[in-house]
Structures are given as structure tokens and as C-alpha cells.
Amino acid sequence: MKIAIVYPEVYDIARFGKKRKEFPPFGVLYLATVVSAQNGMEVKVFSVESDQEILDFTKFDVVAFSIPSSVTYDIIKCVRFNSAYAKDALIIAGGVHVTIFPEQTLRDLKMHAVCIGNGEDAILELLCEKETRQFSHVKGVCCLVDGNTIFTEKRPLKKNLDHLPVIPARHLLPDPDFIMTNRLSNTNLKMTHVMICQGCPFSCNFCASQQKQMQYRSEWHIRQELQHLKDSHGIEGFAVVGDNFLVNKRKVRKICESISSLNLKWSTLSRVDTVDYDSLEIMHDAGCIEIKFGVESGSELILKAMGKGISVNQIYNTIKMTHSVGIKVKAFIIHGYPGENMETTQETIAILDNLSDMIERVSLFRFVPLPGSRVYDQAKENRLLVTGNNWNNCHIYHNPNHWWGDKDDFAVIEESYQQLDKFIFEKWG
């Protein structure tokens, strides 16, 4: 059986408009590895962009579309309906967007079935039913039975991620898609990205994360992959994929102890309320050179509105503590959340200014109401101007659209954003 897995290319838009590829599509790579491990399965992955709408899938028995975010939906939709398929091909889909909008995706893209949540097990069961098209017994899918939408029993999450292959199928991608330089803090080290955990137990109102349960890979699992990458590609460092590596301090300690002898430099993301001094020292000794904190705002008002559950004092204390250990700090800022104004923006500028000697880098994003987030779901209550299925307008990078409030509100947001952007550029370039 020949299986095509199709995913949309996602770019980070750097400050000066240069497009650069983000981390590899780990969901696709793990799926490809799981499927290709089965007897008689041959897998090929296709990366598509907005100018690649016509592909030839006529030699494939199954075409599986990955839709990792709603902003990529229209790209996949164009490919779905403009491409050629074998007569009896099974057409399926999965990903974050599908998990949020399963029935809509099923019907709109005319799929035979779609996966809700993680699909490593579900896809194998779907493939077994390629000929029968009987999917109602497969857990974690949405399909049609006699024209009616059926949601099958939810597939329970596993306790950890060690059911995944140790080595995801990076060999199906060109090396430049996963081996990079100039991407690990302010270094030129040869690096890659590694997925260590999934899930987020927190409930920020702007976030579209759908999985609350934390899942980690074990320390031996991670070390094996890093050793492989070091031996086969000569990596000098890596960046952790996953926002909440530091939630479980016991796991942090075990993983750091396991990988420290590899002498790799690495970075990770974190909240300011999930770190402590002991963990920072352990991470530093294991090669951590940078932590990217979701600061979001320097305004207590905006932090509360966002549902961040952190305070300005915690931001100050955590950044100072991280700097004191010798780990560099990158701050993520989101500007323009409902309620933002000139005063709240000046509060953000003030905290960045006060901590500027301890912050190595800053990434500034405009607020975007992401489908699946609380703020998106409560659009009317927050006077957001989100309408219909206009998901292309929800691109997260440097999106200047008017989302909430009246024209005067929007004018203040624009003026205050320009002041914040100018300040960050002058401080950090």
C-alpha cells in the first residue's frame, strides 16, 4: 500500500520579512515512521505551499492530509480539490484544525474520515479498513454513516510518549528542513529541533492548545535520538519543541542527567511560574543556554485578561534568577489583546526596559484570535471582528488586522504597537 502524507509548509516571518522554515512537522514524521514500519507500507511526504495547488496522487492508495493550524486550511483545501487521485483512494485528515473542527473538515473537504487528537494508532486502523470504508469502530475519528456524521469513542491519551518511534522519519525531508544554523539563541551552532513533550495544563485565553494532559518522552528515549542526530548529522545543539518542558521538575532532572554527557547546547520554552533555582542550575550544567519565556505583557491588567495566571513580579524575579544562573533569556510579547491601550503598552515597555540587561532577545507578536482559543470562542463578548471561516486572516505572525473595538480603539492599538516595536528594535535590533 502506498500512502501520501501531505502537510502545509509553515514559515516564521522574521522581523525584516525574510521567510524561514520553522521546526519540522513532527506529527507527520512520527506518523510516517509508524506507518512505514508496517509490512507492505510505503510512505512519501509532500510539503505544499500556497502556490502548489495541483499534485498527482494517482499512484497512491491513501492520501492523508495534515492540517496543523487553521491558517493553513485554505492551502490544504486547494490541494485537496485541485489534485488528481486514484479511483479508490482513501482520503483522510488529521491535525489541530481537524481536532477543533472535525465535522466541518470532514464535510467541507469531502474526507472519508478524519482523526481527532493524536493519530498514530488511529491511522493504522483506518488503513486496515481501506476497502470496507467501515470506520465507526475506530476510536478517535469522525466519519459519515449513511450520510450522518458519527463521532466515535474518544481515544484515551497514553501516559507518556514512549510509544512513539525513537527516531522520527527525518530522512523523508531534505536536510535543510531540519538541520539549521543561526537558530539556537545567538549562535551559529549546527542544530535541530527535538520534540520532548506534548500538552499544556494551563488555560491562557489566547492559546489554541487542545491537550491539557502533559506527556513526556523518557530520558533514554530522548538520549537515543540525540545521540543518533549527533552521530549522523553532527549536531552541536538542539531546541526543545513543546511549551511546557519545565512543568515536571522530576522529569527535567532525569532528562538533564541523561543528556549532559552529550555536550550539546540547547534551548527551551517556559512559563515564568514553572522554574526554580535548582532546576535552572541543573539545566545550565546539562547545556541549556537559553530559555524563551512567554512574558506576553508587562501589564497586570492584560495578564489577567489573558488568563496567564502570572504576575509582573514573577516576570521580574524569574528573569533575574535565570540570568544569574548564566542562562540567556528570550521574551515573547503579545501586543493588542482586548483591553490593550497606550497605558498597558507603556507598562510593557517599562518592564522590558528595566530588564533589558538581562534579556538577550525579544520576539513581538500582534494578538490574533486563534480558532480553538477561548478568546476566539467568546468573540461576541469581546467585540472581536472574527467572521465565518476567514481563517487566513488569523495568521499569527505580524498580523495587522483589526480584531476588536471601534476605530478609535484600533487607532490606539496601531500607535502603541509602533511605539513598542520601535523600542524593541532600538534595544535588541
pLDDT per residue over 145-165, tens digit each? 999 999 999 999 999 999 999
Beta strands in 39-120 (DSSP E): 42-48, 56-57, 62-66, 84-85, 90-94, 113-115
CA nearest neighbour of 65 among 79, 49, 86: 79
Mean pLDDT, residues 299-311 taken together: 96
pLDDT class of 18 with cuts at 50, 70, 90: low
Instruction: Judge whether residue 143 has pLDDT over 90.
Output: yes
Which residue ranges form the domains of the chain, and what is each CATH number?
A: 2-151 (3.40.50.280), 179-428 (3.20.20.70)
**DSSP state for residue 330 in the 8-state scheme:** E
Number of Cβ within a 10 Å radius of residue 41: 17
pLDDT class of 384 with cuts at 50, 70, 90: low
- pLDDT of 101: 92
- pLDDT of 360: 96
- pLDDT of 15: 47
Q: Dig out the grid coordinates for 291 from the structure.
A: 530559555
Mean pLDDT, residues 406-412 taken together: 90
Mean pLDDT, residues 53-60 taken together: 93
- pLDDT of 407: 87
Q: Which helix (H) or strand (E) holds 195?
A: strand 191-195
- pLDDT of 14: 46
Tens of pLDDT, residues 197-220? 999 999 899 888 888 899 999 999
- pLDDT of 240: 95
- pLDDT of 183: 87
- Give me Rg for the CA atoms of the chain: 22
pLDDT class of 383 with cuts at 50, 70, 90: low
- pLDDT of 52: 74
- pLDDT of 223: 97
CB 66 within 8 A of CB 5: yes
Identify which has the larger pLDDT, 380 or 252: 252
What's phi and psi for 304, nearest 5 deg? -65, -45
CA nearest neighbour of 35 among 137, 133, 127: 127
How many Å apart are CA 30 and CA 6, to the nearest integer? 13
